[in-house]
Amino acid sequence: MDEKLLEISNLRTYFFTEAGVVKALDGMSLEVYKGQAVGLVGESGSGKSVTAQSVLRIVPRPGRIVDGSVKFEGEELLTKKEDEMRKLRGRKMAIVFQDPTTSLNPLYTVEKQLTDILMLHKDLSKDDASKQALHLLDRVGIQDPERRLKTYPHELSGGMKQRIAIARALACDPVLLFADEPTTNLDVTIQAQVLELLKQLQRELNMTMVMITHDMGIIADMTERVTVLYAGKVMEVADTQTLFKSPKHPYTEALLKAVPSVKQTRALEVIPGNIPNLIEPPTGCVFHPRCKYAKDVCVKKEPELERVEEGHYAACHFWRELELEGRGG
């Protein structure tokens, strides 16, 4: 079997704010095998980005990892010293952030942002690093890379900025890449290009990718396995095809129904209600206030992640009984 690259178990990351303790991740688990393209899906506020930040241990203040285990290449990351983590960041694991306008430093040229990382991890001279940077720009499909090297981010379009952010993430050939909503802030036409680029790069570099998104369409297009996250907890885990054909959790069903398709004849269903208050989350099943199948036990008892079949797990009291609607393809 392939080896497990990343194994997150029961991760809890809380934010200690003036308003209260925000439980961004509350017992979340994830398994990623080498070479896989895995999806992490959920609405905004479900804890998706915090997962990536937790793995790299760059959760911003006032957030802190309070419990759980994160194993990367077999080693426990949560007990590592800070300078050991720093050697991994950018080198073995990297993140592509959602908004390239804010994730690129506005005061540094493209060249500097790339060479900084190259020189840090690869011990290259400035000239060699510049040459590498040029090569990176080429690889992410940027035309006229020599000129682009000397430009500042504010002089570039959204799509180009994101390509550069991708180049920065891939600078040192990481084995694990988190793509955190990489196309959400881009135009629709550019979105397709960037996704295509990511797919291509993942193939070429045999990179393990975790695609974080709220868009089920992207999940269908880009991933082979997917975890559904809600209010910091895992609702369902399955192979992408299985999840789409036969979802076993009401939240998954609702997410699938919210994606428009050409063949659609009925109205789009919006999931009623808002994401829960993470300071005082609902009792029992976190999803029960918005679940149309909820019963008494859902308010009282938190469901555990139960095995539906090999590789398919769902956290719902009634996954056996419910006949949920999937999507054909």
User: Please, which residue, 250 or 276, has the CB nearer to another protein?
Assistant: 276
CA distance 247 to 327: 9
How many Cβ atoms sit within 10 Å of the Cβ of residue 141? 18
DSSP assigned state of 293: T
Among the listed residues 12, 49, 46, the one whose alpha carbon sits nearest the alpha carbon of residue 28: 12
Phi, psi (deg, nearest 5) at residue 178 = -100, 120
Contact range with another protein by CB under 8 A, out of 55-63, 129-137, 212-220, 238-246: 55-63
User: Please, which residue, 258 or 275, has the CB nearer to another protein?
Assistant: 275
User: Please, which residue, 211 or 220, has the CB nearer to another protein?
Assistant: 211
Judged by CB under 8 A, which of 5, 6, 30, 56 binds another protein?
56
> In 3-state terms, what secondary structure has residue 149?
helix
**Least Å from the CB of residue 305 to another protein:** 22
**Which amino acid type is present at position 158?**
G
Judged by CB under 8 A, which of 6, 8, 13, 15 binds another protein?
15
> In 3-state terms, what secondary structure has residue 296?
helix
Binding mask 283-312 for another protein (x = CB under 8 A): x----xx----x-x--x-------------
**Least Å from the CB of residue 326 to another protein:** 27
Q: How many residues bind another protein (CB under 8 A)?
A: 52
DSSP states of 169-233: HHTT--SEEEEESTTTTS-HHHHHHHHHHHHHHHHHHT-EEEEEES-HHHHHHH-SEEEEEETTE
**Least Å from the CB of residue 183 to another protein:** 16
User: Please, which residue, 153 or 159, has the CB nearer to another protein?
Assistant: 153
Q: Enumerate residues 78-117 that contact another protein by CB under 8 A.
A: 82, 86-91, 94-95, 97-99, 102-107, 116-117
Q: Enumerate residues 232-251 that contact another protein by CB under 8 A.
A: none
Question: Going along the chain, which residue ranges are E strands?
Answer: 4-17, 20-33, 37-41, 63-72, 75-76, 93-96, 176-180, 208-213, 225-230, 233-239, 306-309, 312-314
Q: Enumerate residues 162-181 that contact another protein by CB under 8 A.
A: 165, 168, 171
CA distance 90 to 149: 20
**Residues contacting 243, CB < 8 A, separation 6+:** 226, 228, 236, 252, 312, 326
Binding mask 267-286 for another protein (x = CB under 8 A): -------x-xxx-xxxx---
- Give the residues lining the site for another protein (CB under 8 A): 15, 17-19, 22, 45, 53, 56, 58, 60-62, 82, 86-91, 94-95, 97-99, 102-107, 116-117, 120-121, 152, 154, 165, 168, 171, 274, 276-278, 280-283, 288-289, 294, 296, 299
